[in-house]
Structure 1
Amino acid sequence: MRPAPLICSLLAGVFSFSVNAAIELTDPYARATPPRAPNSAAFMVIKNTGSETVSLIRAETPAARTVELHNHVMDGGMMKMRQVDSIEVPSHDKATLEPGGFHIMLFDLSTPLKDGERLPLTLHFSNGTEVTQFIPITKAMVESKMKHGHDSH
């Protein structure tokens, strides 16, 4: 019995991707939105286990009409959000996308992002790598990842 062509091509894609994969996503999430909020953001740590620096150059999701890469910068004593062309991920290092720093903005959402659901998100990198994951949507900021410790002097 011969395997179905679709299954073969899906398996071939998985294996060819895993051989060339140098990008790993950790702790990805998108913020849940109130009922009529048009925008949200996605955050994660992007690890580059490869020997060459790559850049995140584009992201997309069917849930938003426009998806942009952004950073927060100080401008005239005020923190402002600015679109960036790319986010560099150095070789054998990581880029952290987090509130107040680099992040992925999701504009003009087709439906609200609901806590507990998952958002399909595809990341495109300068070396041709594409990573698609269904990332969790959460109401609260991921505070467990933040350091809340105090010095004990």
Structure 2
Amino acid sequence: MKVVYVFVLSLLMLSAQASDLVPTVDNAWLRAGPPNANMLAAYVTLSNESEKTITLVGADSEAFGMTEIHRTLEVDGVFKMREQKALPMAAGESLTMAPGGLHIMLMMPKQAIEIGQTVEITLNYETNEGESFNQTIQFPVKKEQ
């Protein structure tokens, strides 16, 4: 019985530590697209209020076939998107995703996405110590922010 108690207590401690790392969320929204759009973009500001560096390493959404973090860059006068596999946030730093810059690229929607809906997106993080955790955020679908 003591072994089970220690195991459960250890899991609770790990869970509490991970919840201390979860960034605060501000201004989450998903840009509505035209009917039958194959790609949409979501935006959010994340603030790391923990004492550790945390790194955004990916995103998932059951509403889409594929989800990636992208950055829009100008290369020789042409705008291109590049996947971002790791975006570190030091303690006290924020990461802003906004039109024309960083964004969550949502591809191959599994159903129509319309203004007024809310889409659930899960962000995946890691710490320098190898801890992994997720954060699920509700993104309201809007025409513009």
TM-score by length of 1: 0.77
**In the aligned structure 2, how far is the partner of 1:138 from the partner of 1:96?**
18
**Structure-to-structure mapping, 1:4-153, within 5 angstroms:** 16=16, 19-127=19-127, 128-140=132-144, 142=145
Partner SS state of residue 51, structure 2:
coil
Moved over 3 A (4+): 15-19
- Matched to 1:132, the amino acid is T
Alignment partners' CA distance in 1, 2:106 and 2:19: 31
1:38 CA drift (Å) = 0.9
Shift of 1:126: 1.1
Change over 3 Å in CA distance of 1:111–1:22 after alignment to 2: closer
Q: CA deviation at 1:137?
A: 0.7
Deviation of 1:18 (Å) = 7.7
Structure 2 residue ranges without an equivalent (≥5)? 1-11
Code of the aligned partner of 1:38: N
TM-score normalised to structure 2 length: 0.81
For these two proteins, the number of residue pairs brought into alignment is: 128
CA-based RMSD: 1.8
* Aligned partners of 1:34 and 1:112 also within 8 Å: no
Residue 9 of structure 2: aligned partner: none
SS in 2 for 1:129: strand
Quickly say closer, same or farther: Cα 1:18–1:85, change in 2 above 3 A.
closer
Q: How far does residue 133 in structure 1 lie from its aligned partner after superposition?
A: 1.9
Residue identity over aligned pairs, in percent, reads 25
Deviation at 1:129, TM superposition (A): 2.4
Unmatched tracts of structure 1, length 5 or more: 1-11, 143-153
Which has more strand, going by share of residues?
2
In structure 2, relative to structure 1, the CA distance for the partners of 1:137 and 1:17 (3 Å cut) is: farther
Distance 1:125 1:28 in 2: 17
Distance of aligned partners of 1:19 and 1:67 in 2 relative to their CA distance in 1, 3 Å threshold: closer
